[in-house]
Chain A
Amino acid sequence: MSNTISALPGATYEGAVRVQEMGLCGMISLRGDHGDEKLISAIKDIMGTVMPGQREIVHQDERAAAWMSPDELLLLLPYADVRDALTRLETALAGTHFLAVNVSDARAVFRLHGGSAREVIAKLCPVDMSPGAFGPGQIRRTRMAQIPAAFWMPDEDSVHVVCFRSVAQYAFDLLKQSAHPQAGVGLYA
């Protein structure tokens, strides 16, 4: 474990918001029938959350379950807990048709923190970031400039963005540029 590194270790930028690569984050991609009782109770047992509804993310302490598609969830948890969680999922869901894989290393995660976090995202993603339309408890899978990305708001002033690991530098550069201190739009901030 000691030689495991995230995509852009320690990358930070202080602009209109603070942009920070979040280091190693545990992530499991789970495909299965969202209505299946076994799956619902496995999520409850292992993640401590209810099943998220469409475009929702449900948090519990250090863990969260996010809706990715009608048959796909993204489970967020500490990096060190992934193998154990996968084992428990395999046991709990034995006999049902599902797919649970570790995708922690396939991703990079960034945290934006500051009053204009919504605007930084709205420059890159075709999403209505106004407070009435998007906020904590929701997740969007979308496009960030030229790459796929997903994001959610752990609180009113923060956005967590997840993208593929190979494009972490591109994503960080994009976010830095959008968070330029003199580039405020003044619409949401």
Chain B
Amino acid sequence: MSTRLATGGRLLDKGRALEFTFNGKRLKGYEGDTLASALLANDQMMVGRSFKYHRPRGIVASGAEEPNALFNMGAGGKFEPNQRATTTELFDGLTCASQNHWPSLEFDIGAINNSLARFLPAGFYYKMFMHPRPLWKHVYEPFIRQSAGLGKAPRDRDEDTYEHFYAFFDVVVIGGGIAGLLAAREAGRAGAKVLLMEQTAHWGGRAPVDGGTVDGRPVDKVVEEIVSELNEMNNVTLRTRLMGAGVYDHGYLMGYERLTDHQPQAKGPRHRLWRIRAAQIVTATGAIERPLSFAGNDIPGVMLASAVRDYAVDYGVSIGDRTVVVTNNDDAYLTAITLKKLGLDVPAIIDARPQGAGALAEEAKALGIRIETGKGVAKVKGGRRVTGVAICMQAGEGAALEEIACDVVAMSGGWSPVVHLWSHCGGKLLWDNENAMFKPDVDKAPTGAAGEAFVVAAGAANGALKLADTVADAHAAGRKAAKSAGNTPMSGDAPKADSSLENPMQPIWLMPQGAKYELRAKAWLDYQNDVKVSDVQLAAREGFESVEHAKRYTTLGMATDQGKLSNINGLAILSDALDQPIPQTGTTTFRPPYTPISMGAIAGEARGPVFQPLRRTPMHDWHEANSAYWEPVGHWRRPYTFRKTPGEAIDAAVSREITQTRQSLGLLDASTLGKLVVKGPDAGKFLDMLYTNMMSTLKPGRCRYGLMCSENGFLMDDGVVARLDEDTFLCHTTTGGADSIHAHMEDWLQCEWWDWNVYVANLTEQYAQIGVVGPNARKTLEKLSDDDLSAEALPFMAWTDITLAGIKARAYRISFSGELSYEIAVDAGQGRALWDKLMEAGAEFGVTPYGTEALHVMRAEKGFIMIGDETDGTVIPQDLCMDWAISKKKDDYLGKRAQARSFMANTERWKLVGLETIDGSVLPDGAYAVTDGTNANGQRNTQGRVTSSYHSPTLGRGIAMGLVHNGPDRMGQVIDIPKVDGTVIKAKIVPPVFYDPEGKKQNV
């Protein structure tokens, strides 16, 4: 059993006991524990069930590479699945539950898959569930989703907050181990602005556990000294619990800071996403130990040798009383020696190498540890916990020589540099034969805009595994980064370190090398996704030869740990099956983030009220207080209608607003309309190019409606242009066009007509604009103004400056409703005041505020087009029968040439007409009109479509506009418009202007 030792645990504060709950059991740990070390201290070795076969799984590792120990953590608004126990710091009151089992961790019905494992090889799902097709959606998929999967999805809204932070440094060092510390020190001494980030809460990485000396001093003391030296440097920032998550183009680096995961009751954001620009990045990310592939290597109690050592030294936890060490390298001897010195039993070191280890072997022997060289593990005995190992000749097929009773197997298959961050942005890798590992190819680093390298790998992450090499390499890396960032490194030699690692490792990809199928089918590569040696071999046999194909076929490396343990072992097996060298097989792609980061951190501040900007007009609060039924219009909120009484139906409110406006007086908040001022000696010429009609002939004081097309001839915006003076125009755009048309104007002025003297300013938000609409509009304004507002003084399509209720205003006499109508613009700060005055003055006329839907219906009754309804990016003004708005006198305008192309000039295009249903009903918006026959695809031929459709309270019937083939020539014809329910509505083609075709009402 695993338990807490009486002594040791360098990271623990044994004065502070903590209580936590696992699967409802109350357990105890100490301040400084990880959840994993605390569980092990309580003999909770088994932590979950595997993904596919539901085999019992225990903790394997001690860091970010852990594949098995994933938990549902917390409850309610603090619940989060798939939290890794080895990187979760213990806190008082922590609650967690194991995942992927039913009904319980100890008894799991899904474990029946394990006995069926023979019938569930790689690709099983692909092969099995292809036929019959309908069964997939209704039977197979729901069943698989129920039986597979890891943590539960959260049910409640996340209670925590998150934020981003933008930071800029000369040199960012990722990893606070001995290599990162040394690199940061060199960069700091050179005067660079440095950030050193470490994903855990502690400095030093593996060095304090693995030991050794630097310049004759114990490495753990050296770590402390460097940290305090760095703390003294003003140009160096040190942050723990900050992980380098991803490296991107141009020195962009994503850092993931976990602020309150270890103290969830603390106030403030839980995670912070650092968005960093770095001139140079040093990846001092260390190395990860590889498992060995032998039968039963997934049974709880089989762990990485380094992890067994970490738990003993860092947390004072013994994984078991009797530990068998299995290795292909010197490093694992350290585990045996550490355990023996702690008074624990190490029955044997099984070393696959015939020659065994160097000095460490001598030390182990001196401690009385039995060493078996040239041997391997045939299989591990046990079910929910290791009970022993059968050992065999590594060179053989697995015939057991003897069985050794033990409760822990500490395995080491060598080390893989953490090359993830080096690789994210294109850094290439080299195969290192001596250590059987991929390491950064220093000549092919990620490069910046000028082709210069911007990432430097340091220490173990650069393949320098021995302490002496690590120290020298990191020292050089820090200097190189500082120099590349434009600083001058100080002179001085690298510290000298010693290392007890002597004999080379020997690549062992399968143990024993001739293992039979029964053994290979129990030799796990990917613990989390349940991929075994036999699965990868099957994939190779079935033709999945590319490493990326084999990965997807077997799901090797596709779990949440992204193959941190399994990657190299898997592709070694694949290479062997394909009979090619490992470098030829290559690796799969390393993609950010390094370990999963929270969705909350990615969203940052963007949630709740600030999920998206919400644009408010100056009258927004009045609308809110007067029962506005809101409609989103881009980021704006505009009233769709106003409910006069709480229960009023929406369509009834719309009808009421229209009727009241047509009969007396309505007010519209039109502030969202785009208002662009265009000024300069060439302004007229410029607008003549932008609009299809002639604007340069417009007289100051007058307004003109205009159309704007893209270069391809398609109608993109419309609005009324007012000429303010000889040099100055004010262009109204649609609400949605305010920003895009401004950008369109700047684009042409800056890129094409840069020598034209024109300036544009977007004044959309400077003005509140109110439509005063209806037969009583003039009377209402006259109550508030002494200015002459008569039809003679201010005729239709003119504007003038007036004073209204003491407020300076500009009145445009324009109409989008067909009624007598003024649009009044005032400084935004006075918009609300004017609105109140107009409501007050209009009270005697029964004034009604109206919303966007009434506006839409009234314009449709008048046959006015709406950008986005009658246009969809494929419609030209000629389709809308708006030839009257296209100047024949101008040499050119944007879109003119395009509109002359054969398809555009084709007389067979669909054109705008009105549609009147025979039965008076309302046509579905967007519905198609059909005609005889079918097209090449067997679909019914169409001859038109509905672009706008409403119930008109004015006419008491449904009205619509549509684009119909040869429409204007077919007045009076009846066409068929099917509905989705299969019925057909008959509609008569009529002129599009349903209301006041002569335009008498707006011109009074």
Residues in chain A near residue B761, CB distance under 8 A: 29, 31, 99, 101, 103
A34 at the interface (CB under 8 A from B): no
Most chain A CB within a 10 A radius of its CB, from B168, B266, B613, B618: B613
Which of A37-45, A48-56, A151-159, A180-188 interfaces with chain B? A180-188
Residues in chain A near residue B681, CB distance under 8 A: 97
- Within 8 Å by CB of B759, from A99, A164, A167, A168, lies A99
Residues in chain A near residue B604, CB distance under 8 A: 145
Q: Are B615 and A174 in contact (CB under 8 A)?
A: no
A124 at the interface (CB under 8 A from B): yes
Q: Could you mark each residue 124-161 of chain A with 1 if its beta carbon is under 8 Å from any beta carbon of chain B, else 0?
A: 11111110010000000000011100000000000000
Report how far A179 CA is from B828 CA in the complex, Å. Answer: 29
Q: Are A166 and B616 in contact (CB under 8 A)?
A: yes
- Within 8 Å by CB of B166, from A24, A71, A122, lies A122
Q: Are B606 and A146 in contact (CB under 8 A)?
A: yes
B269 at the interface (CB under 8 A from A): yes
Residues in chain A near residue B612, CB distance under 8 A: 146
- Within 8 Å by CB of A145, from B606, B635, B830, lies B606
- Within 8 Å by CB of A105, from B168, B268, B827, lies B827
Interface residues of A in 1-38 (CB under 8 A from B): 3-6, 24, 29, 31-32
Q: Are B610 and A166 in contact (CB under 8 A)?
A: no
A81 at the interface (CB under 8 A from B): no
Residues in chain B near residue A165, CB distance under 8 A: 618, 765, 828
Q: Are A3 and B275 in contact (CB under 8 A)?
A: no
Kindly provide the distance from the CB of B197 to the nearest chain A CB, expressed in whole angstroms: 12
Q: Are A178 and B605 in contact (CB under 8 A)?
A: yes
Q: Are B605 and A174 in contact (CB under 8 A)?
A: yes
Q: Are B609 and A6 in contact (CB under 8 A)?
A: no
Residues in chain B near residue A178, CB distance under 8 A: 163, 605
B807 at the interface (CB under 8 A from A): yes
A177 at the interface (CB under 8 A from B): yes
Q: Are A146 and B613 in contact (CB under 8 A)?
A: yes
Kindly provide the distance from the CB of B451 to the nearest chain A CB, expressed in whole angstroms: 24
Q: Are A130 and B615 in contact (CB under 8 A)?
A: no
A123 at the interface (CB under 8 A from B): yes
Interface residues of A in 95-109 (CB under 8 A from B): 97-99, 101-107
Q: Are B616 and A182 in contact (CB under 8 A)?
A: no
- Within 8 Å by CB of A173, from B609, B827, B828, lies B609
Q: Are A164 and B677 in contact (CB under 8 A)?
A: no
Residues in chain B near residue A164, CB distance under 8 A: 615, 765
- Within 8 Å by CB of B613, from A97, A105, A170, A187, lies A170
A60 at the interface (CB under 8 A from B): no
A4-B827, A29-B761, A99-B677 are known contacts. Are A105 and B766 too (CB-CB below 8 A)?
A: yes
Q: Are B268 and A97 in contact (CB under 8 A)?
A: no
Q: Are A180 and B168 in contact (CB under 8 A)?
A: no
- Within 8 Å by CB of A183, from B268, B764, B830, lies B268
Report how far A31 CA is from B168 CA in the complex, Å. Answer: 32
Q: Are B759 and A105 in contact (CB under 8 A)?
A: no
Residues in chain B near residue A128, CB distance under 8 A: 166-168, 277
Residues in chain A near residue B807, CB distance under 8 A: 3
- Within 8 Å by CB of A5, from B635, B764, B767, B832, lies B832
Interface residues of B in 799-852 (CB under 8 A from A): 807, 827-830, 832-833
A167 closest partner in B (C-beta):
B613
- Within 8 Å by CB of A24, from B610, B760, B766, B829, lies B829
Report how far A169 CA is from B516 CA in the complex, Å. Answer: 70
Residues in chain B near residue A145, CB distance under 8 A: 604-606, 610, 613
Report how far A164 CA is from B609 CA in the complex, Å. Answer: 18
B728 closest partner in A (C-beta):
A99
Q: Are A170 and B166 in contact (CB under 8 A)?
A: no
Q: Are B764 and A98 in contact (CB under 8 A)?
A: no
A105-B829, A126-B166, A177-B605 are known contacts. Are A97 and B757 too (CB-CB below 8 A)?
A: yes
Q: Are A187 and B237 in contact (CB under 8 A)?
A: yes
B643 at the interface (CB under 8 A from A): no
Size of interface on A: residues with Cβ below 8 Å to B: 51
Kindly provide the distance from the CB of B396 to the nearest chain A CB, expressed in whole angstroms: 59
A97-B757, A123-B605, A177-B610 are known contacts. Are A182 and B166 too (CB-CB below 8 A)?
A: no
Report how far A109 CA is from B615 CA in the complex, Å. Answer: 16
Report how far A122 CA is from B166 CA in the complex, Å. Answer: 5
Q: Are B830 and A4 in contact (CB under 8 A)?
A: yes
A4-B830, A146-B606, A187-B237 are known contacts. Are A177 and B161 too (CB-CB below 8 A)?
A: yes
Report how far A105 CA is from B266 CA in the complex, Å. Answer: 41
B165 at the interface (CB under 8 A from A): yes
Q: Are B765 and A6 in contact (CB under 8 A)?
A: no
Kindly provide the distance from the CB of A105 to the nearest chain B CB, expressed in whole angstroms: 4
B637 closest partner in A (C-beta):
A166
Residues in chain A near residue B636, CB distance under 8 A: 166
Residues in chain B near residue A119, CB distance under 8 A: 165
A145-B605, A183-B268, A183-B269 are known contacts. Are A97 and B610 too (CB-CB below 8 A)?
A: no
Q: Are A127 and B166 in contact (CB under 8 A)?
A: yes
Report how far A33 CA is from B164 CA in the complex, Å. Answer: 38
A103-B763, A106-B763, A185-B272 are known contacts. Are A166 and B617 too (CB-CB below 8 A)?
A: yes
Q: Are B766 and A103 in contact (CB under 8 A)?
A: yes
B127 at the interface (CB under 8 A from A): no
Report how far A178 CA is from B828 CA in the complex, Å. Answer: 28
Residues in chain A near residue B269, CB distance under 8 A: 180, 183
B614 at the interface (CB under 8 A from A): yes
Residues in chain A near residue B617, CB distance under 8 A: 166
Report how far A5 CA is from B833 CA in the complex, Å. Answer: 9
Q: Are A126 and B275 in contact (CB under 8 A)?
A: yes
Report how far A104 CA is from B614 CA in the complex, Å. Answer: 20
Residues in chain B near residue A122, CB distance under 8 A: 165-167
Residues in chain A near residue B266, CB distance under 8 A: 182
Interface residues of A in 76-124 (CB under 8 A from B): 97-99, 101-107, 119, 122-124
Interface residues of B in 214-262 (CB under 8 A from A): 237
Residues in chain A near residue B532, CB distance under 8 A: none
Q: Are B765 and A166 in contact (CB under 8 A)?
A: yes
Residues in chain B near residue A185, CB distance under 8 A: 165, 272
A145-B606, A147-B613, A177-B610 are known contacts. Are A31 and B759 too (CB-CB below 8 A)?
A: yes
B739 closest partner in A (C-beta):
A148
- Within 8 Å by CB of B614, from A71, A129, A170, lies A170
A29-B761, A169-B614 are known contacts. Are A99 and B680 too (CB-CB below 8 A)?
A: yes
Q: Are A173 and B610 in contact (CB under 8 A)?
A: yes
Report how far A3 CA is from B604 CA in the complex, Å. Answer: 38
Kindly provide the distance from the CB of B354 to the nearest chain A CB, expressed in whole angstroms: 55
Residues in chain A near residue B635, CB distance under 8 A: 166-167
Report how far A157 CA is from B636 CA in the complex, Å. Answer: 34
A145-B605, A180-B161 are known contacts. Are A105 and B828 too (CB-CB below 8 A)?
A: yes
Kindly provide the distance from the CB of A70 to the nearest chain B CB, expressed in whole angstroms: 10
Residues in chain B near residue A181, CB distance under 8 A: 267
Residues in chain B near residue A102, CB distance under 8 A: 766, 827
B679 at the interface (CB under 8 A from A): yes
Kindly provide the distance from the CB of B633 to the nearest chain A CB, expressed in whole angstroms: 12
Report how far A184 CA is from B616 CA in the complex, Å. Answer: 31
A183-B268, A185-B165 are known contacts. Are A170 and B610 too (CB-CB below 8 A)?
A: yes
Report how far A180 CA is from B614 CA in the complex, Å. Answer: 22
Residues in chain A near residue B827, CB distance under 8 A: 4, 102, 104-105
Kindly provide the distance from the CB of A96 to the nearest chain B CB, expressed in whole angstroms: 10
Residues in chain A near residue B614, CB distance under 8 A: 167, 169-170
A144 closest partner in B (C-beta):
B613
Q: Are B766 and A6 in contact (CB under 8 A)?
A: no
16 A-B contact pairs sorted by A residue (CB < 8 Å): A3-B830, A3-B833, A4-B833, A31-B759, A99-B680, A103-B761, A103-B766, A105-B830, A106-B828, A130-B167, A145-B604, A164-B765, A165-B828, A166-B635, A166-B765, A170-B610
Q: 14 new A-B pairs (CB below 8 Å) besides A99-B759, A164-B615?
A: A3-B807, A4-B829, A5-B833, A102-B827, A105-B766, A105-B828, A119-B165, A123-B164, A146-B612, A166-B617, A167-B614, A170-B613, A177-B610, A180-B161
Nearest 6 CB-CB pairings of A with B: A182-B268, A3-B833, A99-B759, A166-B615, A106-B765, A182-B267
